[in-house]
Structure 1
Amino acid sequence: MADPELEAIRARRLQELQMQYQGKGSGMSGPGQMNMQEQQRATQERQEREEELRNTILTQILSQEARARLSTIALAKPDRAKMLENILITNAQRGAIREKLSEEQLINFLEQVNEQTSKKKTVVTYDRRKTAIDDPDDDDDDNID
């Protein structure tokens, strides 16, 4: 009863079991592990391509000094720098930026963005309530002899 189809199924199953046994060390088994690794690799490659594209666009629209200024901002406030990069890239894609921005132009742009995005300052005023102790008409000192 040496059916070639049955032998092929047995060989495939044996290979799957061996893959599962080898994959147990990492906590996952078989084809799922390979698929997950491929997905992670694909995601990482996509992120790297997007980052390269961002850097290319920023290099095209910012002078060297402006790029250095943006890098300094990224060190201090990464979320703010990312937002500024997104705004600059969007403006460049729409055609609003036609030439490289100098450092002075970038500073002016930063000031405009800060004015639009800054929250209103919260002003705290202390309103001291007057009590009987503070009443100028109340002179308790009169009864002391």
Structure 2
Amino acid sequence: MSDADLDEIRKARLAQLRQQNGGSGAAPSAGGAAGGGDDDARAREAEMRQNILSQILSPEAADRLGRIRMVKESRATDMENRLIMLARSGQLRTKVTEDQLKDLLGAVSEQEEKTQDRIVVQRRGGWDDDDDLLDL
């Protein structure tokens, strides 16, 4: 079989899967060959982010950010976005060290702690069953 034949088979199978799924476009791609523009755009964006981060982070800081990602994905993504924003605005003149990353993490967590709404539970008074158990 030639490459053209394989491509035709892939396209036919992809069309069949899309038809079975109601044309939602949620069909799995055949090895990425017919994945579409969304996957390519996400891959390019991820590659661009990694390039920027490798330029602005020291190896130790990149390692710490990777460990943060294992624990909490959203915190790591937020830190990456902040670092990329600082780099694009020209506020970073040297590579970010692990200590600087720790300081930035501390500042962000303090800021989140201050802005975070607290839930206060107020219990109604006058309803206490503990005393009733003593009468038995």
TM-score bracket for the superposition, by shorter chain length: 0.5 to 0.7
Is it true that 1:114 corresponds to 2:109 in the alignment? yes
Q: 2:91 aligns with which of 96, 121, 125?
A: 96
Is it true that 1:49 corresponds to 2:44 in the alignment? yes
Match for residue 28 of structure 1? 19
TM-score (normalizing by structure 2): 0.63
Distance 2:96 2:50 in 1: 15
Displacement, 1:41? 2.1
Match for residue 6 of structure 2? none
SS of the aligned residue for 1:28 comes to helix
Please tell me the residue identity of whatever aligns with 1:106: L
Matches within 5 A, 1:1-145: 22=12, 25-28=16-19, 40-118=35-113, 119=116, 122=119, 129=126
Please tell me the residue identity of whatever aligns with 1:107: K
Q: Compute the RMSD of aligned alpha carbons.
A: 3.3
Structure 2: stretches of 5+ with no match in the other structure: 1-8, 132-136
Please tell me the residue identity of whatever aligns with 2:17: S
Distance 2:73 2:118 in 1: 22
Distance 1:55 1:117 in 2: 26
Residues 25, 121 of structure 1: CA spacing in aligned structure 2 closer, same or farther, 3 A cutoff? closer
Query: Residue by residue, what CA displacement relative to the aligned partner does 1:12-34 show, whole Å, maximum 9, x if unpaired?
Result: xxxxxxx9xx56743539xx9xx
Displacement, 1:106? 0.3
Q: Which one has the largest radius of gyration?
A: 1
Query: Residue by residue, what CA displacement relative to the aligned partner does 1:71-121 show, whole Å, maximum 9, x if unpaired?
Result: 000011001111111111011100111110110010000001111123255
Distance 1:75 1:48 in 2: 20
Please tell me the residue identity of whatever aligns with 1:100: K
TM-score (normalizing by structure 1): 0.60
